[in-house]
Amino acid sequence: MARRIHTLAGYIHEYQRSVLNPDDFWSQIAETFHWRKRWDKVLEWEFETPSVKWFLNGKLNITDNIFERFLYTKGDKPAIIWEPNDPEEPHKVISYKELYKQTCQFANALKAQGIQKGDRIIIYMPMVPEAAVAMLACARIGAVHSVVFAGFSANSLSDRINDCSAKMVLTSDGNFRGAKTIPIKDVVDEALESTSSVEKVIVYERTKTPVNMVPGRDIWWHDAIDGISTENTAETMDSEDMLFILYTSGSTGKPKGIVHTTGGYMVYTYYTFKNVFQYRDEDIYWCTADIGWITGHSYIVYGPMLNGATTLMFEGVPTHPHPGRFWEIVDKFKVNQFYTAPTAIRALEAFGNEPLQPYKLDSLKVLGTVGEPINEEAWHWYHDHVGKGRCPIVDTWWQTETGGILISPLAGITPTKPAYATLPLPGVQPIIVDNDGNELKGNSVEGNLCIKFPWPGMLRTTYGDHERCRQTYFSQYKGLYFTGDGVKRDEDGYYRILGRVDDVINVSGHRMGTAEVENAINEHPKVIESAVVGYPHPIKGQGIYAYAICDLSDRSEENLKKEIRLTVSKIIGPIAKPDKIQIVPGLPKTRSGKIMRRILRKIAVGEVDNFGDISTLLDPDVVEKIIEGKDTAS
């Protein structure tokens, strides 16, 4: 198989080659694809503006490289195995040929509904194969998809629709999640009350939940494809044409639309999937992420499919109807590579080993984790009890912005080490800097993680606001991409990610800006001001601790906290609900009005002495009052 690394020596060799001559390295990988016109130049870049272009003037379509490329060799191979939320409902197996037909047909349907190359389409759907069809159909005709996690609120959805002026929304009547059925079409209807760009809504029937179909605007998926041809010639795209936008939280209030383009993203997700997971042609690969996150884009849909892999898609949740559900699915389909998040591992570990007992799990060859730092405890449990000590764990570090995995072991090829993402993939050049931007060279150092050279899968801009992209990622440290993560390089040169160094909280692998949550809390009319910090949480990794100054004149503290949680749920979504709320008389602020989160973080974990210098505080007494009230947090 082209471009697969087989040995540790091979890794070292490829890594060196990728640094010495990136153009040769990446063009040899890109050559394994079908290009309608070859690129003129491999790479043009500078990290000031920034401007990054890969495979310049190359012409291609990413779906050509999934379907037309594999049709003769893998047409009958399962592309998607879909397991529904309810174990009683039959699963589906969709071959590459069948997925190709569905993609072409839906691509034609989108065109028939007036969609053209460059139009933005929001996908707000459950984990059903049609969600992948929707993404691929957009890519086929050059429409830009923006998948929004179907757990987000109407308000979050309308913000995203407005930010990219989406012309269409793809959704479903409802979403089965564990024991619940969530009426997501209602959420879309509410979101569309505060948007004006959306002309059409296509609704996939999943739950048979009654919905209100707006005449002239809403159309059922099955009606949209009725009588539509299953043949379609893919649009010719430039390497640097936008493939998708995915919104992600940062340290400011408003989520950013991360933009990925066609050629580089294709090459990068293909290469990283192949090497990190060491996927073999007959393997069944399962990533448990939702397609609303970048992991779902790169490692459920594009990466696996560009490798002609069989990718398992699961509609449900880890613990429904029982905490052995994941292991049941592994055995049912003889899953070989299993990729999940530390938060899921910890949640399942909490049930003990009993739920594992009925299952053999002997098909497993590779285990993966992503989304947040994994603690050693959870790593060992995963390794010993799920992998039975036989399976290497790939702890994959990457971001929405990076498009694909940057630092990770290659399964069975390079060494693993508990809680370490270990080594950069070929083509990835990490650098650690101190707060002044000085490079920390050599081993046994700790600092801010930056990347000093482009890789094909990296973000190109933030939608509609390039300056924000520069500000957020390229301005802290001159000439470097700043990840926002702290990192340690140990005595052997292995990387351990230490978590965010900015105001981003990582709850169960989902990024949340403190400002974003505060803005939502402040929407409650009785909240005067609030400050939010992360604190260690046994299952979620980090929990949200909110300090709020409130008007309690006409309701109980308990009721107000309930209402605040409801408000946050409505504005962002249930995942942003604070785990703890403490009503406080004031917040520790500097004379310039900046909230000293450092102090609030310490109080949240019960460290109530040794605050360092608090003399710059406007009102140092407030700290004492917050400490006194700590037990009222709930």
Considering the complex, state which of residue 85 and residue 400 has its C-beta at the smaller distance from ligand 7RM. Answer: 400
> Contacts with ligand 7RM in 117-136 (CB under 6 A)?
none
User: CB-based contacts of 520: which residues, under 8 Å, 6+ apart?
Assistant: 567, 568, 571, 572, 576
Give min distance, CB of 104 to ligand 7RM, in A.
Answer: 30
Stretch that binds ligand 7RM, among 41-49, 153-161, 470-478, 493-501 (CB under 6 A): 493-501
Among 485, 503, 516, 518, binds ligand 7RM (CB under 6 A): 485
Give min distance, CB of 371 to ligand 7RM, in A.
Answer: 4
Q: Is 85 exposed, middle or buried (0-12, 13-18, 19+ CB in 10 A)?
A: buried
3-state class (DSSP) for residue 287: strand
> Contacts with ligand 7RM in 81-100 (CB under 6 A)?
none
Give min distance, CB of 341 to ligand 7RM, in A.
Answer: 8
Rounded to whole angstroms, how far apart are CA atoms 66 and 82? 18
∠ CA 284-288-294, nearest 5°, is 110
- Displacement of CA 166 from its chain's centroid (Å): 21
Q: What share of the chain is helix, strand, coil (3-state, %, to 5)?
A: 30, 25, 45
Among 506, 530, 542, 567, binds ligand 7RM (CB under 6 A): 506
Supply the DSSP symbol for 422. Answer: B
> Contacts with ligand 7RM in 330-369 (CB under 6 A)?
none
Rounded to whole angstroms, how far apart are CA atoms 185 and 109? 20
> Contacts with ligand 7RM in 290-329 (CB under 6 A)?
293-295
Whether the CB-CB separation of 277 and 368 falls below 8 Å is answered with yes
Considering the complex, state which of residue 132 and residue 341 has its C-beta at the smaller distance from ligand 7RM. Answer: 341
Give min distance, CB of 504 to ligand 7RM, in A.
Answer: 7
Q: Hey, how many other C-beta atoms are within 10 angstroms of the C-beta on 183?
A: 16
- According to DSSP, the β-strands at 337-340 and 481-489 are unpaired
Give min distance, CB of 564 to ligand 7RM, in A.
Answer: 25
3-state class (DSSP) for residue 197: coil
Give the amino acid at 356. Answer: L
If one asks whether residue 484 binds ligand 7RM (CB under 6 A), the answer comes out as yes
Stretch that binds ligand 7RM, among 108-116, 132-140, 159-167, 503-511 (CB under 6 A): 503-511
Considering the complex, state which of residue 228 and residue 539 has its C-beta at the smaller distance from ligand 7RM. Answer: 539
If one asks whether residue 370 binds ligand 7RM (CB under 6 A), the answer comes out as yes
Among 400, 416, 472, 530, binds ligand 7RM (CB under 6 A): 400
Considering the complex, state which of residue 303 and residue 373 has its C-beta at the smaller distance from ligand 7RM. Answer: 373
Closest-CA residue to 508 (of 481, 532, 537, 548): 537
Give min distance, CB of 579 to ligand 7RM, in A.
Answer: 19
> Contacts with ligand 7RM in 511-540 (CB under 6 A)?
511
Give min distance, CB of 359 to ligand 7RM, in A.
Answer: 26
If one asks whether residue 371 binds ligand 7RM (CB under 6 A), the answer comes out as yes
Give min distance, CB of 406 to ligand 7RM, in A.
Answer: 9
Considering the complex, state which of residue 239 and residue 298 has its C-beta at the smaller distance from ligand 7RM. Answer: 298
Q: Is 447 exposed, middle or buried (0-12, 13-18, 19+ CB in 10 A)?
A: buried
Stretch that binds ligand 7RM, among 38-46, 47-55, 133-141, 395-403 (CB under 6 A): 395-403
Whether the CB-CB separation of 356 and 110 falls below 8 Å is answered with no
If one asks whether residue 225 binds ligand 7RM (CB under 6 A), the answer comes out as no
For residue 537, the surrounding DSSP H or E stretch is strand 527-537
- According to DSSP, the β-strands at 481-489 and 495-500 are antiparallel
Closest-CA residue to 333 (of 316, 305, 312): 312
Give min distance, CB of 246 to ligand 7RM, in A.
Answer: 9
3-state class (DSSP) for residue 100: helix
Among 398, 477, 494, 535, binds ligand 7RM (CB under 6 A): 398
The answer, yes or no, to whether the previous bond of 318 is cis (omega within 30 of 0) is no
- According to DSSP, the β-strands at 200-204 and 168-172 are parallel
**DSSP string for 487-541:** EEE-TTS-EEEEEESSSEEEETTEEEEHHHHHHHHHTSTTEEEEEEEEEEETTTE
Give the amino acid at 549. Answer: I
Considering the complex, state which of residue 133 and residue 431 has its C-beta at the smaller distance from ligand 7RM. Answer: 431
Considering the complex, state which of residue 372 and residue 518 has its C-beta at the smaller distance from ligand 7RM. Answer: 372
Number of residues that bind ligand 7RM (CB under 6 A): 24
> Contacts with ligand 7RM in 408-437 (CB under 6 A)?
421
> Contacts with ligand 7RM in 181-220 (CB under 6 A)?
none
> Contacts with ligand 7RM in 232-291 (CB under 6 A)?
248
Question: What are 617's strand-pairing partners?
Answer: 590
Whether the CB-CB separation of 484 and 502 falls below 8 Å is answered with yes
Considering the complex, state which of residue 182 and residue 459 has its C-beta at the smaller distance from ligand 7RM. Answer: 459
Q: Give first-to-last CA distance, the chain, whole Å.
A: 55
Considering the complex, state which of residue 256 and residue 577 has its C-beta at the smaller distance from ligand 7RM. Answer: 256
Considering the complex, state which of residue 159 and residue 485 has its C-beta at the smaller distance from ligand 7RM. Answer: 485
Stretch that binds ligand 7RM, among 17-25, 73-81, 204-212, 494-502 (CB under 6 A): 494-502
Among 103, 399, 514, 567, binds ligand 7RM (CB under 6 A): 399
If one asks whether residue 542 binds ligand 7RM (CB under 6 A), the answer comes out as no
Considering the complex, state which of residue 493 and residue 620 has its C-beta at the smaller distance from ligand 7RM. Answer: 493
Considering the complex, state which of residue 106 and residue 481 has its C-beta at the smaller distance from ligand 7RM. Answer: 481
If one asks whether residue 151 binds ligand 7RM (CB under 6 A), the answer comes out as no
Whether the CB-CB separation of 371 and 341 falls below 8 Å is answered with yes
Rounded to whole angstroms, how far apart are CA atoms 272 and 405? 6
Whether the CB-CB separation of 405 and 376 falls below 8 Å is answered with no
- According to DSSP, the β-strands at 256-261 and 92-95 are unpaired
Cα four-point dihedral sign 577, 168, 177, 310: negative
Considering the complex, state which of residue 488 and residue 589 has its C-beta at the smaller distance from ligand 7RM. Answer: 488
Stretch that binds ligand 7RM, among 142-150, 164-172, 347-355, 392-400 (CB under 6 A): 392-400
Among 395, 503, 516, 518, binds ligand 7RM (CB under 6 A): 395
Give the amino acid at 434. Answer: D
Give min distance, CB of 541 to ligand 7RM, in A.
Answer: 9
Rounded to whole angstroms, how far apart are CA atoms 139 and 145? 8
Three-state secondary structure string covering 234-264? CCCEECCCEEEEEEECCCCCCCEEEEEEHHH
If one asks whether residue 451 binds ligand 7RM (CB under 6 A), the answer comes out as no
Contacts with ligand 7RM, residue ranges (CB under 6 A):
248, 293-295, 370-373, 395-400, 421, 483-485, 497, 499-500, 506, 509, 511
